[in-house]
């Protein structure tokens, strides 16, 4: 696999920030959009951003070893605090020397707070100022997750980056509950900072909240900046809201958050979202989508995805992507994968390898384009390949806000016609 070396000709960063456990160096900025390419020095690894982080809920990605993740050029992976806190549990992880040693992973780790799972996956009992009270799915007993408990679990896990426990509400929620959750999340951040026992070894990121309300998002981001954290997350999105609202909340947040610190947009993983949000100034992403969709036989390509279960691939002896250098594309055909993706774990494993490789290559291409100050041209080429002549309106509007107007012909004569739909499955020619 190709390794990231896009900064090899750059010696002096344009802007830096340094915290006890994180140094962030911006080496290149797009002269048109808000995109930047940076190095993020973590205790266990130096990650290149913009970057995508695959999700390993239980400290592993289904069917993939840590050595394979290294070969795929993954810099940081994400673990789930709730699941890791339940199994193997904090005591065992501490005895093992932390999750890095336990899972034999010597690169970056980020853990979420566990709060999202309390709300989305479990039977929610109550949210109070103390924390989130929920019903344990194993024995039905009531349990409480507080900001202090979340930080304690994450300190035991030992991730390079930890997330604060926030009061999570659906992105579709409106009314006073949104402001209540935003203000409570700020108070819980302060409790999390006090509870953090390893500030020289682990970084605590706060989370911008406020739903789809510009005023609340602004207040949240401004309050978080006052805490001087090593980096910041943009949360409460990718929950079914209209894409027009999504991108506006992202760009509002990046306009307020410091330019010399990393910005993490949580739960984002579609290729077009990664390109657009990078143009809006985001540095980090995570999502279960690439690995989860692989288990259903869907392989990611620049035109969207291939459903390898379909009969059209039964006698297709080409690789998933002729331009991909992953081990799956080098050694296996679409025809072989068609016979195995829904019947054998091998097929799911092979498509997972490809999908992670696809995400890593996309992010690497984004970084190269920023470093060479060719990102607007990269965007137009990507959009043309992915969508063809019709493009979702939210993409056209979001890119126009950072001076990339897809409705104006480029050198090849390509222009995009906006459509109201938020999603377009295949290119339209």
* Residues recognised as catalytic: 112, 286
Phi, psi of 34 (to 5 degrees): -95, 10
Cβ atoms 210, 194 nearer than 8 A:
no
| Residue 47 DSSP label | E
- How many other C-beta atoms are found inside a 10 Å radius of the C-beta of residue 136? 12
Cβ atoms 145, 119 nearer than 8 A:
no
Phi, psi of 388 (to 5 degrees): 80, -140
SS (H, E, C) 311-352: HHHCCCCCCCCCCCCCHHHHHCCHHHHHHHCCCCHHHHHHHH
**Token pair listed for 252:** 């509002």
**Token pair listed for 198:** 């390893």
Cα dihedral 65, 71, 75, 77, rounded to 10, equals -20
Cα dihedral 159, 165, 170, 174, rounded to 10, equals -140
Element (H, E) at 274: helix 271-279
């Amino acid at each position: 696999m190709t390794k990231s070396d896009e900064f090899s000709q750059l010696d002096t960063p344009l802007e830096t920030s340094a915290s006890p456990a994180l140094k962030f160096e911006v080496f290149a900025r797009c002269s048109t959009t808000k995109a930047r390419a940076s190095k993020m020095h973590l205790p266990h690894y130096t990650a290149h951003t913009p970057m995508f982080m695959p999700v390993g809920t239980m400290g592993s990605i289904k069917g993939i070893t840590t050595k394979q993740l290294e070969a795929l050029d993954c810099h940081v992976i994400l673990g789930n605090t709730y699941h890791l806190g339940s199994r193997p549990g904090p005591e065992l992880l501490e005895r093992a020397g932390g999750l890095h040693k336990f899972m034999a992973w010597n690169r970056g780790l980020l853990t979420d707070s566990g709060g999202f799972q309390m709300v989305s996956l479990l039977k929610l009992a109550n949210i109070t100022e103390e924390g989130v009270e929920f019903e344990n799915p194993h024995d039905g007993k009531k349990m409480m997750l507080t900001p202090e408990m979340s930080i304690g679990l994450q300190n035991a896990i030992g991730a390079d980056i930890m997330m604060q426990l926030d009061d999570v509400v659906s992105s579709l929620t409106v009314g006073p509950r949104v402001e209540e959750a935003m203000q409570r999340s700020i108070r819980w951040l302060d409790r999390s900072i006090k509870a953090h026992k390893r500030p020289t070894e682990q970084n605590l990121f706060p989370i911008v909240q406020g739903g789809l309300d510009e005023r609340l998002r602004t207040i949240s981001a401004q309050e978080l900046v006052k805490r001087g954290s090593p980096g910041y997350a943009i949360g409460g999105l990718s929950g079914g809201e209209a894409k027009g609202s999504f991108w506006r909340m992202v760009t509002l947040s990046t306009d307020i958050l410091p330019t010399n610190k990393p910005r993490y947009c949580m739960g984002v993983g579609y290729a077009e979202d990664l390109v657009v949000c990078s143009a809006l100034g985001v540095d980090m992403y995570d999502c279960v989508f690439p690995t989860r969709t692989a288990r259903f036989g869907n392989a990611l390509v620049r035109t969207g995805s291939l459903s390898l279960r379909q009969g059209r691939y039964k006698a297709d002896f080409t690789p998933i992507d002729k331009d991909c250098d992953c081990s799956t594309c080098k050694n296996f055909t679409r025809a072989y994968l068609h016979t195995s993706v829904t019947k054998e774990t091998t097929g799911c494993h092979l498509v997972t390898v490809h999908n992670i490789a696809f995400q890593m290559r996309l992010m690497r291409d984004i970084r190269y384009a920023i470093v060479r100050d060719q990102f607007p041209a990269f965007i137009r080429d990507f959009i043309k390949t992915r969508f063809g002549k019709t493009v979702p309106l939210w993409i056209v509007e979001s890119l126009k806000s950072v001076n990339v107007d897809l409705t104006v012909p480029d050198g090849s004569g390509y222009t995009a016609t906006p459509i109201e739909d938020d999603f377009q499955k295949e290119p339209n020619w």
